[in-house]
């Protein structure tokens, strides 16, 4: 008997989505890196964007950040069309990734102050103190970022991303290469931020334990297409897999092969 199709996870609030992506495409010549994907992220929701390297995750995030121009499709941050009003839309968005560290020759405080000024953060001195406390960075306030451990640099990057109180927070492997205790604290902090600020979070990760802990919904990308989505705690059993990691391995293959392996269309 074939497993049931994915069950759509209802939005966590009745409010409009903070991020709406429709028919998004990106071509590099004859190569289609992203093939008409559509999804939404609602206030207070953490959505996992999953897939193997080359699936289209970073290309998608780059388009959401306005770094890459889509070949087709639309992106709305709240009600703002990113492609038509890039500056306005990006004031509501922020980003953090372990591969995008802040300048190492500046201290933690100097880096945060520069970004607070760039973002136009009101009463930035008080806001800086708030994010220093939030990520336990007061003791590193006057330390150059280049001298910090990878976990400490991750905290500084997340503090930078929180400065502007974004409506949409994009996190690309935010806990990669840091110790489990620090990763647990960071996950708890981001969950709290999303709930309290009613921000939407799009989170990429290869750590399926982490995804199950923080995400209310996941989108599986394969070769630029969303081929599966739903609640990460329910999806494995719906497709006859013992864990989310086993399901990830199945859908990471060619979409046709994954369909045949799981015995049902991937939608």
- Going from N- to C-terminal start, the domains of the chain cover 1-92+180-267, 101-165
pLDDT at 181: 86
Q: What band does 178 get if pLDDT is binned at 50, 70 and 90?
A: confident
pLDDT exceeds cutoff 70 at 67: yes
CA angle 75, 17, 81 (to 5 degrees): 30
Would you state the structure tokens that stand for residue 149, as one six-digit string?
């451990």
- 129-170 pLDDT tens trace: 999 999 999 999 999 999 998 889 999 999 999 999 999 999
Average pLDDT score over residue span 192-214: 94
Give me the mean pLDDT over the 218-244 stretch. 93
**What's the whole-number mean pLDDT along residues 94-109?**
92
Question: What's the half-sphere exposure (Cβ side, CA atoms, 13 Å) at 258?
Answer: 23
Would you say 97 and 171 are in contact if contact means Cβ atoms under 8 Å apart? yes
β-bridge mates for residue 200, sequence order: 168
Q: Which candidate, 179, 254, 248, 244, places its Cα nearest to that of 224?
A: 254
DSSP letters, 113-159, are HHHHHHHT-TTHHHHHHHHHHHTT-GGGTTSBGGGS-HHHHHHHHHH
| Higher-confidence position of 158 and 10 | 158
- Label the pairing between strands 168-172 and 93-97: parallel
| pLDDT on residue 98 | 80
Question: What would the mean pLDDT of 80-104 be, rounded to a whole number?
Answer: 92
Tokens describing residue 83? 């492609």
How far apart are alpha carbons 132 and 116 in whole angstroms? 13
State in words which class domain 1-92+180-267 has. Answer: alpha beta
Position 14 scores a pLDDT of 66
Query: What pLDDT does 253 receive?
Result: 67
Q: Across residues 183-200, what is the average pLDDT?
A: 92
pLDDT at 254: 53
pLDDT tens-digit map of 232-249: 999 999 989 999 999 988
Mean pLDDT estimate for the chain: 88
Question: At CA 190, angle to CA 189 and CA 192, rounded to 5?
Answer: 65
Q: How far apart are CA 267 and CA 11, in angstroms?
A: 18
12-62 per-position pLDDT tens digit: 556 899 999 999 999 999 999 999 999 999 999 999 999 988 899 999 999
Taking each helix axis from N to C end, the angle separating 244-251 and 255-262, rounded to the nearest 10 degrees, works out to: 130
Task: Give tens-digit pLDDT for 71-82.
Answer: 999 999 999 999
- Determine which helix (DSSP H) or strand (DSSP E) holds 195, and give its type and residue range: helix 180-197
First-to-final CA distance of the chain: 18
Q: Return the exposure string of 125-151: e unless at least 16 CB atoms fall within 10 Å of the residue's CB, then b.
A: eebbeebbeebebeebeeeebeebeeb
32 beta partners: 27
């Amino acid at each position: 008997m074939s497993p049931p199709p994915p069950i759509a996870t209802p939005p966590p609030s009745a409010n409009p989505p903070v991020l709406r992506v429709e028919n998004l495409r990106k071509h590099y010549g004859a190569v289609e890196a992203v093939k008409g994907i559509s999804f939404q992220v609602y206030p207070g929701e953490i959505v996992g964007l999953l897939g193997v390297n080359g699936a289209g995750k970073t290309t998608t995030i780059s388009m959401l950040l306005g770094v890459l121009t889509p070949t087709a499709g639309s992106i709305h941050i709240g009600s703002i069309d990113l492609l038509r009003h890039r500056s306005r839309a990006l004031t509501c968005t922020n980003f953090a990734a372990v591969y995008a560290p802040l300048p190492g020759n500046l201290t933690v405080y100097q880096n945060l102050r520069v970004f607070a000024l760039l973002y136009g953060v009101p009463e930035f001195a008080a806001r800086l103190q708030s994010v220093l406390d939030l990520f336990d960075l007061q003791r590193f306030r006057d330390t150059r970022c280049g001298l910090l451990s990878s976990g400490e640099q991750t905290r500084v990057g997340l503090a930078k991303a929180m400065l502007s109180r974004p409506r949409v927070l994009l996190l690309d492997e935010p806990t990669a290469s840091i110790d489990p205790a620090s990763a647990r604290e960071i996950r708890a902090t981001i969950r709290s931020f999303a709930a309290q600020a009613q921000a939407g979070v799009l989170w990429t990760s290869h750590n399926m334990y982490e995804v199950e802990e923080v995400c209310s919904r996941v989108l599986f990308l394969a070769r630029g297409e969303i081929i599966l989505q739903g609640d990460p705690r329910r999806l494995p059993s719906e497709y006859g897999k013992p864990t989310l990691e086993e399901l990830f391995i199945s859908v990471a293959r060619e979409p046709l092969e994954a369909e045949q392996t799981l015995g049902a269309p991937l939608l």
